[in-house]
Amino acid sequence: MSALPHQAPSSQEPATSSAQPKSRASRETGATGTPVLTATPSLAAGGNTPISSVAGNSTAIPSTAVNNSNAGTPINANTTAPPATPGKKPGKSNKPKVTRLRQQKLKSWQPTLTAKTVIPAIFLIAVIFVPVGIALLIASESVKEWTINYSDNCPMGPCTLSFSVESDFKGDVFFYYTLKNYFQNHRRYLKSRNDNQLLGTLTSTAECDPYDKVNTTNGMVPIAPCGAVANSMFNDSFTLYKGSSGNPEEQVTWTYKGVVWDVDLQKKFKNPTIPSGGSLCDAFANTSKPVNWGRLPCHLDDNNPDNNGFLNTDFIVWMRTAALPAFRKPYRKLVRTGTFANGLPAGDYVLVINNIYPVKQFNGRKQFVISTASWAGGKNSFLGIIYIVVGGLCFLVGFLFIFIHLKWGRSH
Q: Lowest mean pLDDT: which of 199-208, 241-250, 295-304, 390-399?
A: 241-250
Residue-wise pLDDT for 148-203, tens only, equals 999 999 999 999 999 999 999 999 999 999 999 999 999 999 999 999 999 999 99
Overall average pLDDT of the 39-61 stretch: 42
pLDDT at 394 over 80: yes
Q: Which residue has the higher pLDDT, 160 or 14?
A: 160
Supply the pLDDT for residue 71: 46
Domain ranges of the chain: 114-143+374-412, 145-373
pLDDT at 291 over 80: yes
pLDDT at 83 over 70: no
C-beta separation of 270 from 200 below 8 A = yes
Please give the sequence-ordered ranges of beta strands (E in DSSP) within 62-218, or none if there are none.
65-66, 74-75, 145-149, 157-165, 169-170, 173-180, 213-216
pLDDT at 252 over 70: yes
Overall average pLDDT of the 228-233 stretch: 97
Supply the pLDDT for residue 216: 87
Supply the pLDDT for residue 196: 96
**At 104, is the pLDDT very low, low, confident or very high (cuts 50, 70, 90)?**
confident
C-beta separation of 211 from 229 below 8 A = no
What is the percentage of the chain residues whose pLDDT exceeds 90?
67
Q: What is the phi-psi region of residue 227: left when phi exceeds 0, alpha when psi lies from -120 to 50, beta otherwise?
A: left
Supply the pLDDT for residue 230: 97
Integer Cα distance of 295 and 21 in angstroms:
98
> pTM here?
0.71
